[in-house]
A and B are shown apart, each in its own frame.
Chain A
Amino acid sequence: MSQSPAKPGELAPHRIPVEALALGLASGSAATAPGHDAPLLAGLWSPVRREHWTMKWLSTVDHKQIGMLYLVTALGFFVIGGVEALLIRLQLAGPNLHLLQPDTYNVVFTMHGTTMIFLVAMPALFGLANYVVPLQIGARDMAFPRLNAFSFWLVPFGGLLLHFSFLTGGAPAVGWFAYAPLSETPYTSSSSVDYWALALLVLGIGSVGTSINLIATVLTQRAPNLTLRRLPLFTWMMFVDSFLVIFAIPVLNAALVMLLIDRQLNTHFFLPPGGGTPLLWQHIFWAFGHPEVYIVALPAFGILSEIIPVFARKPIFGYEFVAGSTVAIAFLSLLVWAHHMFTVGLGHAVDLFFVAASMLIAVPTGVKVLAWSATLVGGRIRFDVPMLFCLAALVQFLLAGLTGVSLASAALDWQTKNSYFLVAHFHFVFVGLIVFAILGAVHYWFPKMSGRMLCERLGKWTFWLMTLGFNLTFIIQHFLGLAGMPRRVFTYADLPGWGWMNMVSTVGAFLMGVASLLFVWNLGRSLLRGRVAGDNPWRAWTLEWACPSPPPPENFTSLPPIHSRRPLWDDAHPDQPDPVVGTHGALDTYVPERNQTAIIAFIFSESAFFGVLILTYLYYNATPPAGPSAHDLNVLKTGLFSLGLIASSFTLWLAEKNLTRGRLGSMRFWLAATVALGAVFLFGQASEYATLFQSGVGVSSNLFATTFFTLTGFHGLHVAVGLIALMVMLGLALAGDFKSAHPPALKAVGYYWHFVDVVWIVVFSAVYVLPRLR
């Protein structure tokens, strides 16, 4: 039933060599020619010069190694975050304890939350995606391997930045969501919050880079017959998840940038004395924060959708429903953030709409739970460790979903707001679903990554200790919350029941700690002495199991024919293959260009960033504040310079046209004209700024000045970056490059430049034109 291993130089029966597939792709057909000689590609796969293992790992651009780097980094931070959790539980083990000072306690829970979300959950899940997605789609690597490496190294860098704050006057103590005004200078004068914000910016940029990479990879690097509707569910969920990331993270970046400007430049985005409002921070943060929980939940759903069918020996029930409900969840998650603000006083009308929308999001989620459950019914379930973790995750997520739906009711939310009921709910999601899914995924894919099996006995001990510990820790917290215990308190009075309930929770937490130690021990031991795994130890059906364990650098030398969602099942059961997943419409075989796909994804993410800045500008300038206002701006002069910027889009279009016609000289001329016009625009901006500075208007003068300088400043920054890209293009053109008539790079830069123009048109209308229309 498993494929017979191919002897060197010989292909397993039914397999199609990758070279033939690649050539087939190049010639536009799906022709197959087993055994076809392909000298062009042989050079790519000749062995590399031996290098030292440290350099190999530090400089790798191979997605598999980068994926493992992500996982190891996440594990390291998991230990740190876990120690922080244990410190919290020790301090809360009994009433009126003083193990930790109150301020230290605040630091510990802030760092615990921030670390676990941004340095553990996201790196672990994106690391898994990095490793698994290219393999599942039969690709050689991610679409942009160097971007991949860059995105990874931002994680340890961001983690170091965050923890460096311990050495510079204290780590942040403002909670993982850093509400203003506590996070503002008057209330937190140390640089802790600045490090926090910078670290999150760095980490966010890495996440967006990875997501752009994933989108480009799934759209452009699939094996030729692997159409979008034949994608494994983990890949599909990561694909949809990536869109969520590119929309949600830039929203956070905008908030962080505004917070940093407040703290460093004395402005008042979120401070009432200067006209700002702390509510704006909440809105923007949660507009990121709610999609963020789905950003980490969707990959967990993907993991469950992979493991449960394999260990129930049944294809997933309702693939289309699981895939479709993912799209619904992704869209809905962008619409429900105000349910984190029910107690803020937005008004009954706002509350009611968000109650309805938040309850609605339970429907597609429920569809998934039903699909997984239906997959289990009638299956021949194998209770191996990956399945155990996923079954526990399923049940625990069900409970988390139920408490979530109850929290969607504003009335119940009011009673349990910021109590341990809420803490229990989100830990059931983050740990009960996501950590358990990650543990299941590591047990599932470890054999592929290392070529060895994890020890099953140790795995089962880890599972039972973790499950017992987790449920002991957090089930009781539901009752603690309903009994009235608030979150983020460093100690509590000796109220009836609180003492023993907290003690139970602490004991559970330590059991989880023991389970984690066992897990790390299992990892180390199995790496050295584990049983050899083979290609497909779990008898799974997706493409990552069609290559050796661990995979060679090029991943695949040959691929099985792909007609359905389970190619390896079809390969092993030619008499009863899965029904063919049809292809209709041109889009199934359409492969967009890599660079343009990435730039368009990047443009989406930047639109979200500018969208927040523009909305903030509009909000704070709806009624003109006292002091400098839009009437102090020179519309005519800036309008003229704006025409220059718009003209530069036109000249760039001319440059592209000339290039496709082969007229390199004209192309260079128009490209130079574009750079010149862009520079003229920047000069105009600078002169506008100079005029304002000379009349005493600085960024901190009033909210108009603050929002004006922030918005136009970031736009100017984008223009400058665009100019650098254009100058690189110009330099290459002058050096004689651009021989082919359809350069994707110039088109991609062109999209970016046109986007920057469109943003300026919106900004100009909102800032310069709109006030004069009133």
Chain B
Amino acid sequence: MTTAEFIRSGWSWGGATLPIAAAALLAYLVLYRGTRRWPWFAAALGVVVLTLTSPLNALADGYLFSAHMVQHILLLLVAPALLLLALPRTVSLALRPRWLGRPWVGWIAGVGTMWLWHAPSLCNAAVTSRPIHALQTCSLLLLGTMFWRQTLAPREAERLSPPVAVAYLGGACLACSVLGIVLTFSPVTVCSIYAAPVVDRLGLGSLVDSRWGLSPQRDQQIGGLLMWVPMCLIYLGAILAQVARWFAEAPRPSGVEI
């Protein structure tokens, strides 16, 4: 098939994604009726739905490692951030037990999940096994939310102070860069399922390989580069937002002016 045909036909509307998204939207509108932040929630849902139902999803399902990486980035970094921004500013996200809310826990959640899901066995399993794939999707969303909670929690008091947040995000950027570097330059295939897809369910094999010219090596390279450069740019954007927040004048009426 051609690229155009694929884009038209590669959508997967079946499955649990749409019902769950609808339920989430309902829950949000009921819980936080009247809030002006609903566009953020719509954006978050839009990202999740598109990621899981568009042709991107079809490609990530055993054809292209780089497509899986795009999904990964959207689910781990973009959707959770939008979700947190959608919460009204008075919602408290204090966690019980308290240690779950510690910065290093959030950091390890966000960074660790990325490293974990690229262990070769886990990476392959997430493609071949439906339950593990669902687990992967849910873990990315959940742990991504735990990561972003440290800097995007609705209440100012629950957030890290900007200089600490810069270190937090910078460290995450470095950690994902290292994995990205490893994936880009690795002489071995990390996620072998993408190198030789077991079943060519959608007949995309020739499209991907010859039309788009994406050999498995190049595919892994691009996947690694996606994790390296664009992912870091997302973290960098967040860092700049923190720096802007730090320099913004917010005089406290009760505070002592020194």
- Residues of A bordering B, CB below 8 Å: 30, 224-225, 227-229, 283, 319-320, 323-324, 327-328, 331-332, 334-335, 347, 349-350, 353-354, 356-357, 360, 563, 580, 582-587, 589, 611, 615, 618-619, 622-623
Given A324-B247, A584-B250, A623-B187: A349 touches B163 (CB 8 Å cut-off): no
B249 touches A582 (CB 8 A): yes
Q: Which residues of A contact B23 (CB under 8 A)?
A: none
Of the listed stretches B2-10, B125-133, B143-151, B222-230, name the one at the interface; the rest are far from the partner chain.
B222-230
A225 touches B221 (CB 8 A): no
Q: 10 A-B pairs, CB-CB below 8 angstroms?
A: A324-B244, A328-B240, A353-B229, A356-B229, A357-B233, A580-B257, A586-B161, A587-B164, A589-B258, A618-B186
B239-251 interface mask toward A, CB cutoff 8 Å, 1 = contact, 0 = none? 1100110110111
Verify if B57 is at the interface (C-beta below 8 Å from A).
no
Verify if B178 is at the interface (C-beta below 8 Å from A).
yes
User: Chain A binding site: helix, strand, loop or mixed by DSSP?
Assistant: helix
Verify if B30 is at the interface (C-beta below 8 Å from A).
no
Verify if B104 is at the interface (C-beta below 8 Å from A).
no
Given A353-B225, A582-B257, A619-B187: A331 touches B236 (CB 8 Å cut-off): yes
Q: Which of B163, B240, B257 is within 8 Å of A587, CB to CB?
A: B163
Q: Which residues of A contact B236 (CB under 8 A)?
A: 328, 331-332
Given A331-B170, A580-B257, A586-B161: A347 touches B232 (CB 8 Å cut-off): no
Q: Which residues of A contact B221 (CB under 8 A)?
A: 347, 349-350
When C-beta atoms are compared, the residue in chain B nearest to A607 turns out to be B174
Q: Which of A319, A320, A328, A357 is within 8 Å of B229, CB to CB?
A: A357
Chain B contributes a number of interface residues (CB within 8 A of A) equal to 39
Q: Which residues of B contact A618 (CB under 8 A)?
A: 182, 186
Q: Which residues of A contact B187 (CB under 8 A)?
A: 619, 622-623
When C-beta atoms are compared, the residue in chain A nearest to B188 turns out to be A622
Q: Which residues of B contact A229 (CB under 8 A)?
A: 246-247
When C-beta atoms are compared, the residue in chain A nearest to B237 turns out to be A328
Q: Which of A30, A319, A349 is within 8 Å of B258, CB to CB?
A: A30
Verify if B211 is at the interface (C-beta below 8 Å from A).
no
Q: Which residues of A contact B164 (CB under 8 A)?
A: 587
User: Chain B binding site: helix, strand, loop or mixed by DSSP?
Assistant: helix
CB distance from B120 to the nearest CB of A (A): 8
When C-beta atoms are compared, the residue in chain A nearest to B241 turns out to be A324
Verify if B255 is at the interface (C-beta below 8 Å from A).
yes
CB distance from B155 to the nearest CB of A (A): 14
CB distance from B173 to the nearest CB of A (A): 7
Given A353-B225, A587-B164: A323 touches B186 (CB 8 Å cut-off): no
- A634→B239 CA distance, assembly (Å): 44
**Given A323-B247, A327-B239, A615-B181: 7 more A-B contacts, CB < 8 Å:** A30-B258, A328-B240, A332-B236, A334-B174, A335-B228, A350-B225, A584-B252
B222 touches A583 (CB 8 A): no
- A375→B181 CA distance, assembly (Å): 41
CB distance from B33 to the nearest CB of A (A): 32
- A611→B246 CA distance, assembly (Å): 31
When C-beta atoms are compared, the residue in chain B nearest to A364 turns out to be B240
When C-beta atoms are compared, the residue in chain B nearest to A324 turns out to be B243
Verify if B51 is at the interface (C-beta below 8 Å from A).
no
CB distance from A600 to the nearest CB of B (A): 10
Q: Which residues of A contact B37 (CB under 8 A)?
A: none
When C-beta atoms are compared, the residue in chain A nearest to B173 turns out to be A331
- A345→B100 CA distance, assembly (Å): 46
- A544→B202 CA distance, assembly (Å): 70
Q: Which residues of B contact A225 (CB under 8 A)?
A: 258
A349 touches B255 (CB 8 A): no
- A238→B178 CA distance, assembly (Å): 26
- A335→B170 CA distance, assembly (Å): 12
Q: Which of B174, B188, B222 is within 8 Å of A623, CB to CB?
A: B188
Verify if B166 is at the interface (C-beta below 8 Å from A).
yes
Q: Which residues of B contact A328 (CB under 8 A)?
A: 236, 239-240
B164-190 interface mask toward A, CB cutoff 8 Å, 1 = contact, 0 = none? 101000100110011001101111100
Verify if B89 is at the interface (C-beta below 8 Å from A).
no
Verify if B218 is at the interface (C-beta below 8 Å from A).
yes
Q: Which residues of B contact A331 (CB under 8 A)?
A: 170, 173, 232, 236, 239
- A305→B184 CA distance, assembly (Å): 39
When C-beta atoms are compared, the residue in chain A nearest to B169 turns out to be A331
When C-beta atoms are compared, the residue in chain A nearest to B217 turns out to be A347
